[in-house]
Structure 1
């Protein structure tokens, strides 16, 4: 097989798996137009349409689905074989793409990025931080990071550090106008920020005491999906915020924020790095796992 034919098949494999020329181009490190051109060349060579294209989507034809089922495992085997060469190198080589929640990514990667890259100078780490729930396989990530409750079947999960917990915080100016709540039930008399996912779905504030879990769903005028914005809103005195404690820690230490309901703190949450269950784990991803593992 000629190199051009192999390159066309690799472009098709990436575009078909991602159902997107853009995401395929990000994986392959070329332009989206180069991916599209390579697939068109392959289709012209075999005389069969493999992908249906519209301005908004890419889908497989029946012939394309059959070809993908044949070539995708082969490319996985090729990738595994190339990655196996890492055993003959001093350190892992190549790119590792990881998706992580924007609200906690700094606390996960901040302490480990420097030592990890220093110990593995040929490793390329790409971290995409978003609180949107991502299909890591469909979007070309090697792994993702989520709370355990968000994990899907068919994934291998590794418990990682740090362990995090939520805190309810407000400014001193806010508490000059209203007494601090003593129980979660008191929150109904306060202005509370609604925590939402990027999809717009809200999630409740959760508390625990003496083995009992209590949920509170704010109905205030402010809804936010970014914990930094929540902290800023709380600092301004407009409302109480329910945020990761580490996100608010500098302002708590400086007195700009005050924590309340400390005896009702929910249990600390464990985070997990997860990736599709498969037989072969790349040396680069293995290095990341070892750096983050509890």
Structure 2
């Protein structure tokens, strides 16, 4: 139980709760369980007032009180549904997710709230791009999910920031294949479903360019991770995207590789050039 010293609260007036939250921010002692049940009601009545106390809300959300976390999650969800605070809440969550030590339950709570931002205000993701790119190095799936939302709702920002290049690079360089599988599920498959529509074709070309760069490097190094690149090109070709000469040359290099994994994977590859 978290405690903060102050008078008890038994009404939900804006002024009273504001007073309590001010006390909380000063470190005075008030019983948290007497504050948090009021938060969702206030979020409905005056979400902008809660935005003024966002630091206190986040402190309650990240506290060890499960009841405080539950009520503040509900309150911030209502705020997000009202179009209030998506960018500021998102920035705070990304900062927290970048922490070295994060308990599984806290990680799950952060991801759930970030998911609410994606659901209620997907356009806000464009304001979180720098933080999400940094987050991708540590929590790839969480960042990929957010970028998947950006891809669908704001593809121009996705293309302008060349996010595909960053995500491909991380996915191909990880020792374990999980990041590539996340990339394929969150980005590549949804992207290929949009083939033939601008600006998605530009993004597909960015992905292909990044894959060629990574593929050349990995094949030259006889690195089995090159099979991820080949797998991606199979998916791209099956979606009807025309593959240019540089991709076909890359596949030929793979067939001549001394690495058994790369050689075997490429042997079964049948990709025709210029398939529309």
Scaled to the shorter chain, the TM-score interval is under 0.3
Select the structure with the greater relative contact order (CA < 8 A; seq sep ≥ 6). 1
- Structure-1-length-normalised TM-score: 0.26
Higher strand share: 1
- Structure-2-length-normalised TM-score: 0.28
Higher helix share: 2
